[in-house]
A and B are shown apart, each in its own frame.
Chain A
Amino acid sequence: MDFLNSQHLTSHDSFVHLFSDAGDFTYFASVSDYVQGKQGTITVQKAETAVGKGKQHEVVFHWDKSTRGFVPREEDMKKSIQTNDFVLFRFCRAEPGQPTCFILGHRGDKKVEFDSRHLRTQQAFMHFFLTAGEHSYRLGRGTYQVSVTDHRDLEVEEHQKRASQAVVIVVSGDQPSPKHANIVTGQTVIWAVEKGENVSIEDQPYKPGAAVSPPSVAR
């Protein structure tokens, strides 16, 4: 079964952060609050690009067995981007013994800019589903579901067609939309936070009929 938890990233996960402000930032991937991984820098230059029109950049980490830490690719150590560009942090192929991690970013003044454990507005968490079955996950106070159909249960063409589409679950507050996603193995789900703070996606043991939304709150 896939391990689905935005607070503990695996090689099947990615984290996206949109840089809306100019400045100098540092980032690293770490296995705990007490161990800092090798640090890279991102310089964001001011531009007139609108939100939603920025470019995608990538930072790829690999697990270094000798230092027992995550290290960015050499070409990702110093990145230069523009405001409203976004960076997708991901991983190379998993190495034996590779632990889960989180990604942390700071502004030049050491203020936390992003923390993949606590998703917020204009950030996203992605998971590539390899195994079929019913996946339940907790988001806020609700429990939601992703049903994954085995590719062997589909015609090859049908599977390839569906796998060539990414599924986006838009998170607003603690409400995902759609609440129940139907996908196939080999498909990536993107939980994109339109509005929210301290959001996380954490897998739950699947119980049929257990998917529930918290009661609506009048605002």
Chain B
Amino acid sequence: MDATIAVSEPGVNVVLHKAIALAHASKSDSATWGPFQVGYSASVALSGGVAVLENAPANKLDLNNVHVVGSVSAFFTFDLGLILPTICIPPVQVCVDIPFIGRVCTPQFCITWPSVHVPVSLPFAFDLSASFGFRVDDLGTQWGIVLLIDPFSARFDLTPMGPLIIAAIQNEVSNTLGSIPLIGGLIAGLVNTVIGAFSGVLTPILGAFGSLINLVLHCWTCLMSTFRSDCSPSIKSRRLYRRTLQ
């Protein structure tokens, strides 16, 4: 028996906007790049978007201009001792005469470089468009719309995060080294050494952030694919789809 199922585009928009409003997901991960340990989590919220139905035979639902906002919260932990050279202070030996011992010269003490912990919050925003196939299921008193994932890879640019991360690391390393006496004249060079080491791993770190955001978005599409809605057959349709019932 053939049956004609009508799906309302305005109805789908209403339903999808409700679904989008609920979509707020986050994930976290951690990894090590050279001396830099990075823990990071990405949280994503969606808003807006316009659903456009395409008639058979395409049977597609295009979701355009969904606004994606979120942030990557990351912390960078690294042991300066793995990056910086050995420096001993004071730069010149200090001697003093002690009559009952002799002329005592104080030794240099080599600095035990501390570990540095830099937390950063990196907001991002971009618009996303995605296409889905879909299926309409007869659920008895209700019709269900099942979105079929059309795998996509969101394209977004995280390179603006680079300078923010570098500035945060520069600031924290400067403050940390600034607390050590007698190396004032060396601090700029030492900070540059740390930033030089970090620059070599920045690109893969941003890549990992991007992968995590993609993973969150992918999970969101998984969520959408299982979303079932009340779509009464009596709703006036703008577009018609044919489905064969066995």
Chain A residues in the interface with B (C-beta under 8 A): 11-12, 14, 16, 18, 51-56, 58, 84-86, 88, 90, 92-94, 121-122, 124, 126, 128, 130-131, 151-152, 156, 159-160, 163-166, 168, 170, 184-186, 188, 190, 192, 194
Contact = CB atoms under 8 A, between A and B. Distances in A.
Contact of B94 (A11, A53, A88, A164): A164
Interface residues of B, number: 29
B112 A86 contact: no
A16 B107 contact: no
B181 A165 contact: no
Nearest to B87: A93
Contacts of A170: 98
B101 A52 contact: yes
Contacts of A128: 106, 109
Contacts of B109: 11-12, 128
A151 to B, nearest CB: 4
B92 A164 contact: yes
Contacts of A124: 98, 101, 104
A122 B101 CA distance: 6
Contact of B98 (A84, A85, A185, A192): A192
B99 A52 contact: yes
A166 B93 CA distance: 10
Interface in B163-222: 178-182, 184
Which 3 residue pairs are nearest across A and B when measured between Cβ atoms? A186-B181, A93-B110, A185-B181
B181 A14 contact: no
8 contacts: A11-B109, A16-B101, A58-B107, A88-B105, A93-B111, A126-B106, A163-B94, A184-B181
Interface of B: 86, 88-90, 92, 94-107, 109-112, 178-182, 184
A88 B182 contact: no
Given A12-B109, A165-B94, A151 B100 contact: no
Contacts of A194: 100
A172 B101 CA distance: 14
B104 A94 contact: no
Given A93-B112, A130-B180, A163-B182, A54 B102 contact: yes
Nearest to B81: A96
A63 to B, nearest CB: 12
A12 B110 CA distance: 9
A16 B90 contact: no
A188 B108 CA distance: 10
B90 A164 contact: yes
Contact of A55 (B92, B94, B95, B102): B102
Contacts of B180: 130
Contacts of B104: 16, 56, 86, 88, 124, 166, 190, 192
